[in-house]
Structure 1
Amino acid sequence: MTEASTRPAFGEGDATLQAVGGMEGLTKLVHNFYRIMAETSDYRPLFEMHPQPIDTSIDKLVLFLHGWMGGERMYAKKYGQIALPRAHAHLQVNDKERLMWLNCMSDAIRDLGYPEELRAYLVSAFSVPAGRIQQVSQATHGQGSE
């Protein structure tokens, strides 16, 4: 068996967390995500939806993703339980914002040189909660999908 065939698949245990480089790699990814969001005009409206300074948003995303990727559930220990759609219900999220978030994360993953199969897996996996956040936002704000 090759090393690749003996590694757990993304989404199993903490395989995804390990694939991004553990806590250190995840922290680097999230910082890169917010840097790209702040510096890229196409993503800047998304950045401006976040409370400033951005440090708490960065911390929350790192801790949430650590558990979401199979690691210790650190977010709940620091911030309490979270339901992503409810936590984002105050925001108006339509197709544009959902795709902006997913594309920005895709760019952040690609920018750090992660393998294409990891980028594809993560963007696909992130699309599920992003879609749910959009559904709740549209139900809350009564907006269309433009």
Structure 2
Amino acid sequence: MTDQTPAQPRLTLRKDENGDALTDTVWAQIGGEETFEFIAAKFYEGVREDPILAPMYPQDDWDGAIRRFRMFLEQYWGGPGTYSAERGHPRLRMRHAAFHIDSDARDRWLQHMNAALDAAKLPPMHDAAIRDYVERAAFSLINQPG
């Protein structure tokens, strides 16, 4: 018996109306390591001064925190798999379980992340996708009431 279901049309993203199909990853499309380094560094500029969030980060290893965050974001968005090669599976909830993350911490984290994304001035489609992901991730990490 053969399936008689007609083939569904495929969606192809293009740079413009008549442009080539986009086949690269989001990581490559928005500038690769340079862009993700910028986002991670901008994010930590805010976090470092935040009285609620700063104590959750290693005070003697801000550069390491920036690097790990950059590697995580790069891997998630189609860049190199360095994060998993060095640190194993991301396991976000497990890695954040030791920290008091309530709605205030979530909101502060999102404020700094959104400021970093604002500064990066990504193309609208990519910006929306990344903001959607980080918001969902931030909500998923809440482990305290309030």
When the two structures are superposed, what TM-score results if normalisation uses the length of structure 2?
0.77
Residues 33 and 104, structure 1, Cα contact 8 Å, conserved in 2: yes
Residue aligning to 2:54: 47
Distance 2:130 2:122 in 1: 11
Distance 1:126 1:97 in 2: 14
Q: Does 1:84 align with 2:84?
A: no
Pick one of 103, 106, 112 that aligns with 1:104: 112
Rg (Cα) greater in structure: 2
* Alpha-carbon shift at residue 116 of structure 1 (Å): 4.2
Unaligned runs of 5+ in 1: 139-143
Which SS does the other structure have where 2:90 is aligned? coil
Residues 40 and 66, structure 2, Cα contact 8 Å, conserved in 1: yes
Residues 24-35 of structure 1 correspond to what in structure 2 (within 5 A)?
Answer: 24-35=34-45
Residues 44 and 66, structure 2, Cα contact 8 Å, conserved in 1: yes
- Distance change >3 Å, CA 118–CA 47, structure 1 → 2: farther
Unaligned runs of 5+ in 2: 1-12
When the two structures are superposed, what TM-score results if normalisation uses the length of structure 1?
0.77
Q: Does 1:57 align with 2:69?
A: no
Pick one of 9, 15, 27 that aligns with 1:3: 15
Residues 66 and 72, structure 1, Cα contact 8 Å, conserved in 2: yes
Taking every aligned residue pair, what percent have the same amino acid on both sides?
A: 23
Q: Does 1:121 align with 2:142?
A: no
Residues 35 and 120, structure 2, Cα contact 8 Å, conserved in 1: no
* Count of aligned positions: 131
- Distance change >3 Å, CA 31–CA 125, structure 1 → 2: same
Which SS does the other structure have where 2:101 is aligned? coil
Which SS does the other structure have where 2:57 is aligned? coil
Which SS does the other structure have where 2:99 is aligned? coil
Provide runs of 4+ in structure 1 moved above 6 Å.
Answer: none
Distance 1:132 1:2 in 2: 32
